[in-house]
Structure 1
Amino acid sequence: MTAIPAQRTSTFSYWQLISFGILTTPLAMSGLVLVMFLPTFYAVEMGLGLGAVGAIFAFGRIFDVVTDPLIGNLSDETRSRWGPRRPWMVIGVPLYCLAVWMLLSPPEGAGLVYLAAVSAAFFLFYTVVDVPYSSVGLEVSPDVHERSYLAGSKAAFQVAGAIFAASIPAIFALQVPAALTLTSEWIVGLSLLGLAAFLAFVPSKNRPVTAPRLGLVAAARLAFSQTQFRYLVGCFFIVQSANALTAGLTVLYITHVIRAPELTGPLIGLLFLSTAVFLPLWVFLSKKHSKKRSWMTAIATCSIALAGATFLGEGDVVPVALVCVLVGASFGADAIMPTSMLADIVDAGETAGTNRLAGTCLAIKNALSKLTFIIPMGVAFPLLDLAGFAETGGNTGMQLVALTGFFAVLPILLRLLSLVVIARAPLHTEKLRA
């Protein structure tokens, strides 16, 4: 592969960037509700029990890891007059809306069989929409920096969707069951609006493919044959593992180390808000220097912020707010830069007639990201329990040190490892071209 400067032309207007990103909002809303509200709702309000409900949702995550690459590969190999992605989205959005409605507004007396069937449908149709849709962002623009704008548009609408979904009970003064029904109505409406805007205003790219069709295994093997792709997903997995630990333990850290449980919501909201506010900074740095350096800067910034968190204690509200701002800001770079770099790698590997790989590559990246969120539940929580940490309070100094270790110290070590790997990796993707 020869490295030469990419000379491309921007194709998207601001309106088209908005039309591309808006469909992310309902997807983010359903993802937030799935984590924050649904387990407790089905376990307590519907009386199905924490263990059974937790097992069903955990299986759904594992199911996701399998279906993501499968749908990605099928999307890549779809050959139609409307391109490879749009047919999946047109079919997937209505079915996703139906699954959301049934999951968030269950009939009275719905049991475990209903939850298992409807949640499986939700996970499947979420993937049917999300993977082909997100793959468009990897292949539709010929401009290396515009790919960052596309990733940034999705990230901004994702944050907006998460904040809105979390705020609906407070905004409309509703109890959880009524709030879930209203949320499902918003998700359905925004999904249909987002699909219409996408079909009407987002440019279509339908590169002719004459190569024989590839199955999932062959496509994944071809993707991993690219050195840049291996380095990128490896670095991404390390960083996301660190993010999963910090995100998964934020509530416990604020509650037991800072001892300000009443500020948990505002501080997490501040984290989300800073993610959106700092998105333009990472794009600016990527244009001025490179995407690789922009991402490394964010990783280092988060590491410094978490290092500061190890010195905080009861009542340190202002310092922990600053930590949330810096950590949230770095999360934005972790969302934009790897996706934009992946678009460069996909573009560099495409030539006339060759198989598409955007869906497969993106789905592999998504699957790795979802696997990392098992780390808090499978590693941190059991070890904290073994150390005698109690969620109800009354923890000793050593138990709080253990919590801080998983919240900050281990993520710092993972991020430092990622910096070493990224620094050595051939990831100046702006210069890639086959």
Structure 2
Amino acid sequence: MATIYASARSPQNERAEPVQSGLSARRLAAFSTLAIPFTAAQLPILNFLPAIYAQQFGISLGALGTIFLLERLWGVFADPLVGTLSDRTRSRLGRRRPWIAAGVIVFALAAAALFFPPAGVSPLYLGLALFTFYLGCAMIQIPYLAWSGEISGQYHERTRVATFATVASSSALLLVILLPALIDHLHLGDDRLKLGAMGGFVLLALLPAAWLTLRAFPEAPAREASRAKPLGPLATIRVIAREKLLLRVILSDLAVTFGQGVRNTLLLFVVSIYMGLPEWGATLMLSQYIFGIAAGPIWMQVASRIGKHRAAITGELVQVAINLGLLALTPGNLGLLIALTAAQGLAQGSGNLMLRAMVSDIADQHRLKTGQDRTALFFSAFSISMKAGMALAVGVALPLVGAAGFDPAAAHNSPTALTALLVTFAVGPALAHLCSAALLRGFTLDEAAHAQIRRELDRRAAGAHA
């Protein structure tokens, strides 16, 4: 039987004891709280910070674009490095806790610099703060994702862990997007207040959330995890390239994130310009997050019946149908738009949730084959696919609709340009989700196969300790 480490004793005295019951919902909720400030910081930095720094501090769009592009390249280096070092860390506190605790400090300092900037801000200041911020993100996210897959070795329990984190993330997005909406009603146009309010929420939530997460579960004793051999950059690429199932999950997640990114990039343009309903833009965006909170538990139940990869395929095919339904939108047709937005919210987390839970299963299979535990390294590759999907979506969607003649600043757009906007908004994500489903077809690591892997790993561990 797979072992679940459910002791909640202090890190100094912990000796994890195996139990056969499911993980405590209270402890899972505590463990997931770190996702709230972490996720809450991502949306304003991507959606609000560039415009505010351009308008308030005079940083050119070219400089902003260069800084954010270099940050993506920095993540390609930083994420695998943190993953490899976390896998090799041995300390009294475990492999994951020291990195998360140090990352929280780096993250907090950089977030304070970004959300509460001084009067005179240069591109160098923004670049250093942003690079430090994403270093802190990597130090938190990669070990946290790896740890979330190690709390339980059971197939469906890992889906539960991912579901709790998904609900926490959706709640954080809902809370943080409410702040600028409220400020617009009270102090219209006060961008510095918006930035400070969102930053204050992140910083106030960070320390309590980190405390709850770090104490929610102990880590498995170090003796039960093999020490991964050090790898250079080329060797790291070769290890990941040999894991065919991991590559399929990474590419599937890239497609999911790309589809979501295209939709989010063009949503406000479609609502305000194509539909002619600018007053509904923020409300519809909020509704997606509200329904997204309910999506996690729904898809967790689906996965418990048909398995993770089949649930992911089902969710992606549902997304295809919903996005193709957007082609039926006509200007002013608010009822259909609300219905499809609600359906989108209920379906949107299916792929992300299942794919994340599947990475830990693949890491178990790799450990059985090679004797090397590279869970955090595999999650770092997964993290890169998420970032690449978002960057690719913006880089493809905006130039594509621009080439078709769409201009968001124009008083009037031609029918051809508006049709191109709608088609890109609907068909682009539909094709991406279809690709995601196709990549998972015939996925061999199901519940039965994973149970066999865990039995063999447990047998080896028992033999090593005999």
The answer to which structure, 1 or 2, has the higher relative contact order (CA under 8 A, 6+ apart) is 1
Alpha-carbon contact 1:6-1:430 (below 8 Å) kept: no
Aligned to 1:195: 210
Alpha-carbon contact 1:299-1:415 (below 8 Å) kept: yes
Q: Which residue of 105, 113, 118 corresponds with 2:124?
A: 113
Aligned to 1:292: 309
Structure 1, 302-311 or 324-333: larger mean CA deviation: 324-333
Q: 1-side partners of 2:96 and 2:227: how far apart?
A: 18
Q: 2-side partners of 1:120 and 1:49: how far apart?
A: 18
Aligned to 1:215: 231
Q: Which residue of 48, 55, 78 corresponds with 1:44?
A: 55
Write the letter of the residue equivalent to 1:227.
K
Q: 2-side partners of 1:210 and 1:335: how far apart?
A: 28
Q: Which residue of 173, 197, 200 corresponds with 1:185?
A: 200
Alpha-carbon contact 2:3-2:152 (below 8 Å) kept: no
Aligned to 1:278: 295
Write the letter of the residue equivalent to 2:444.
P
Structure 1: which 5+ residue stretches go unaligned? none
Q: Secondary structure at the match of 2:118?
A: coil
Q: 1-side partners of 2:30 and 2:237: how far apart?
A: 30
Offset, 1:319: 0.8
Aligned to 2:163: 152
Offset, 1:320: 0.9
Alpha-carbon contact 2:227-2:373 (below 8 Å) kept: no
Alpha-carbon contact 1:85-1:133 (below 8 Å) kept: yes
Aligned to 2:409: 392
Task: Pick closer, same or farther for the CA change 1:334–1:418 going to 2, 3 Å.
Answer: closer
Write the letter of the residue equivalent to 1:78.
T
Offset, 1:193: 0.7
Aligned to 1:91: 102
Q: Secondary structure at the match of 1:204?
A: coil
Aligned to 1:363: 380
> What percentage of residue pairs aligned between the two structures are identical?
25
Structure 1, 343-352 or 177-186: larger mean CA deviation: 343-352
Aligned to 2:422: 404
Alpha-carbon contact 2:226-2:373 (below 8 Å) kept: no
**Aligned residue runs from structure 1 range 278-357, under 5 A:** 278-351=295-368, 354-357=371-374
Offset, 1:62: 2.4
Structure 1, 59-68 or 280-289: larger mean CA deviation: 59-68
Offset, 1:60: 1.6
Aligned to 1:242: 259
Q: Secondary structure at the match of 2:373?
A: coil
Count of matched residue positions in the alignment of Structure 1 and Structure 2: 430
Write the letter of the residue equivalent to 1:120.
F
Aligned to 1:419: 437
User: Aligned-residue CA RMSD in angstroms?
Assistant: 2.2
Structure 1, 230-239 or 283-292: larger mean CA deviation: 230-239
Q: Are residues 1:130 and 2:141 paired?
A: yes
Q: 2-side partners of 1:41 and 1:430: how far apart?
A: 51
Task: Pick closer, same or farther for the CA change 1:219–1:77 going to 2, 3 Å.
Answer: farther
Report the TM-score, using the length of structure 1 for normalisation: 0.93
Offset, 1:180: 2.0
Q: 2-side partners of 1:353 and 1:300: how far apart?
A: 35
Task: Pick closer, same or farther for the CA change 1:397–1:187 going to 2, 3 Å.
Answer: same
Q: Deviations over 1:65-118 (max 9, x none)?
A: 321122111111112222111111111111210110011101111222211111
Task: Pick closer, same or farther for the CA change 1:77–1:320 going to 2, 3 Å.
Answer: same
Q: 2-side partners of 1:179 and 1:105: how far apart?
A: 11
Task: Pick closer, same or farther for the CA change 1:248–1:170 going to 2, 3 Å.
Answer: closer
Aligned to 2:26: 15
Offset, 1:121: 0.9
Q: 2-side partners of 1:228 and 1:353: how far apart?
A: 15
Write the letter of the residue equivalent to 1:189.
L
Alpha-carbon contact 1:25-1:158 (below 8 Å) kept: yes
Alpha-carbon contact 1:312-1:320 (below 8 Å) kept: yes
Q: Which residue of 35, 41, 46 corresponds with 1:35?
A: 46
Offset, 1:50: 2.4
Alpha-carbon contact 2:110-2:132 (below 8 Å) kept: yes
**Aligned residue runs from structure 1 range 219-238, under 5 A:** 219-238=236-255
Q: 1-side partners of 2:423 and 2:262: how far apart?
A: 10
Q: 2-side partners of 1:115 and 1:138: how far apart?
A: 34
Alpha-carbon contact 1:10-1:142 (below 8 Å) kept: no
Structure 2: which 5+ residue stretches go unaligned? 5-19, 454-466
Report the TM-score, using the length of structure 2 for normalisation: 0.87
Write the letter of the residue equivalent to 2:436.
S
Write the letter of the residue equivalent to 1:257.
Y
